[in-house]
Amino acid sequence: MLKSFDETLAQRVLDLGRQTLAIEADAIVALHARLGDDSSFVDAARLIYAGTGRVVVSGMGKSGHIGRKIAATLSSTGTPAFFMHPGEAAHGDLGMVTANDILIAISNSGESSELLDILPAVKRLGARVIAMTGKPASRLARLADVHLNIAVAKEACTLNLAPTTSTTVTLAMGDALAVALLDVRGFREQDFALSHPGGALGRRLLTHVRDVMRTGDAIPSVGLDVPLVKALLEITQKGMGMTAVVDADGRPLGVFTDGDLRRVIERMHDFSNVLIRDVMHANPRSVRPEQLAVDAVAVMEEFRINQMLVIDDGRLVGALHIHDLTRAKVI
């Protein structure tokens, strides 16, 4: 049987939701202010920037969950990183750490025994340590090369026990570090796309016209002196709603589309003797095969067209329909 959820309880839930957001927002504002009075953030960024290895992020419990996200964000923004569980590290996973690496150890209390147990081994390897704790006087903070203070006034949990505000602030600190490093490394959209080839941005920035264009016999094309009726057969067979008109050397002279056909029908009752040269329109829109497919999308949208010719060194090498771009998930 479902418990009742009356208006009084609903208001209580709403009030607690707002209170949680307010407490966590205040904690991030406090972190923002603290960052300006402390050189440790710059020291941490400098240490990672100068490093020649990877960033190894580690933490237990909720700190570990946040650590996984921080490692993922660093990796996707130009700083190679991975998460290492401190418990597993003590049983062999420390073999993943090298002297050139930097360990980011996360513990709100700064007294996590699992992290403290592996710290001597990490230091013996020669790796540097950045600690994120809420206790600057803790053992973890004191043993680290750089300490990032993630202290909060209180947890948003009504019992002031469950990691809530502290995990939010830790995540925000990790994001701040990743974004700062992203910028100083000169990391750009193209770099982001390389690490996200399966995402929408990756497809937009990595897919070229040559990857999606139709080639060879799939390109609809006719000669300059072909009758319009024959050109219509080419349009029908190739299924692109248009045909290119080319000279003997394969150089495009014009294009004829379904839209052009409608206009011809409106003004001519008999076009059985009409040549394609008489009804095509010259100087068709085109792209080059090495251009990004998203550039072709921009041209199609600007001129409200669904097809384009692909030209290389003055010759017709491909044809592109908006459906090709849709299938490739460029749009």
Domain ranges of the chain: 14-187, 209-327
Contacts (Cβ under 8 Å, ≥6 apart) of 223: 245, 246, 247, 248, 276
Does the global pTM surpass 0.75? Answer: no
Q: Class of 209-327 per CATH?
A: alpha beta
pLDDT at 257: 93
Percent over 90 (pLDDT), the chain: 71
Q: Convert 242-281 to b/e letters by CB count within 10 Å (16 or more is b).
A: bbbbbeeeeebbbbbbeebbeebeeeeeebeeebbbebbe
Of residues 135 and 197, the one with the higher pLDDT is 135
Q: Class of 14-187 per CATH?
A: alpha beta
The pLDDT mean for the chain works out to 90
pLDDT at 5: 77
The two three-digit tokens of residue 192, written as one number: 């982001």
Angle at 95 between CA 94 and CA 96, to 5 degrees: 85
pLDDT at 231: 94
Residue-wise pLDDT tens digits, 78-103 = 899 999 999 999 888 999 999 999 99
Angle at 45 between CA 58 and CA 120, to 5 degrees: 40
pLDDT at 329: 81
